Amino acid sequence: MKGHLFHLHLHLHLLSLTTGFFQLWTRTPYLSYSKMAFPCFYPLYSLPPLTPAELHRYSRHIVLPDCGLIGQKKLKSSSVLCIGAGGLGSPILLYLAAAGIGHLGIVDSDVVDRTNLQRQIIHSDADVGRLKVDSARDSILALNPSITVTSFEEELTPSNFSPIIDRNWDVVIDGTDNFPSKYLISDACEFLSLPWIYSAVQGFTGHLGVFNYGPDPISYRDFIPDPPQPGDVPSCAEGGFWVLSQGLWELCRPLRS
């Protein structure tokens, strides 16, 4: 019972850490990342200008007191790496592109299968058989052609993570569906002091959290110290999940980015 309460408390703490993330990102007058992964200061004049078309596109952001013109410029100057372009990665990639994140990175080695289309909304029926990174890039640029997309057509492994996850990214998004990848992302981001946003969905439930962020950062290994034994957690193909459960969880993640 004590262990269950600990994990419940820790999970609630993880969720509470995320509530001010977007506001801090957009309100802080200057934003960059140091080795400690906290906002540090650089002059406002280094923020990229917005074109007239961008001012019009993001006008509903700019009128928000918690965002404003400076906040939108910071979104344009930011870089987010999303590892996985499947069920978890699809919604957040689209929302971050729509929000005006200036540079999006996508890591995935898989191809689109028709069974993906029930939940992986960044892909369409015409994309079946295509690489997910290509399909996702085309959907992102169709939505917002002014942003930059970098694709990594490979699976993240211990031998190749170093050139992919580096300090050029402001935030890393976990869109993977297996524990080894999540622990690898955790260890790489902890080593680089990069904040990363975690999500997992199974059936009708899910988890959402931010790691390596704030004055007392929490690690994924604090949340789940040991991976489950093989077979303890069913795969998506084995256990399935309800598409609206995934959608509701992923709708929360852009605010955490």
Q: Is 236 a catalytic residue?
A: yes
Residue 205 backbone class (left: φ over 0; alpha: ψ -120 to 50; beta: rest): beta
Sheet holding 79-83, edge to edge: 148-152, 103-107, 79-83, 171-174, 196-202, 205-211
Please, which residues bridge with residue 103 across strands? Answer: 79, 148
- What does DSSP assign to residue 240? -
Q: Residue with structure tokens 């299968």?
A: 113
Structure tokens at 255: 């605010």
- Catalytic residue, candidates 67, 82, 236, 252: 236
79-83 and 148-152 beta bridge pairing: unpaired
Buried b (16+ CB within 10 A) or exposed e, 34-45: eeebbbeeeeee
Which segments of 31-156 does DSSP mark as H helices, in order? 52-57, 59-62, 68-77, 89-99, 132-143
Q: Are 109 and 153 contacting, i.e. CB atoms less than 8 angstroms apart?
A: yes
Q: Can you say how many angstroms the Cα of residue 208 is from the centroid of all Cα atoms in its chain?
A: 11
Structure tokens at 244: 């609206």
Buried b (16+ CB within 10 A) or exposed e, 161-200: beebbeeebbbbbbbbbebebbebbbbbbbebbbbbbbbb
Q: Which residues are catalytic?
A: 236
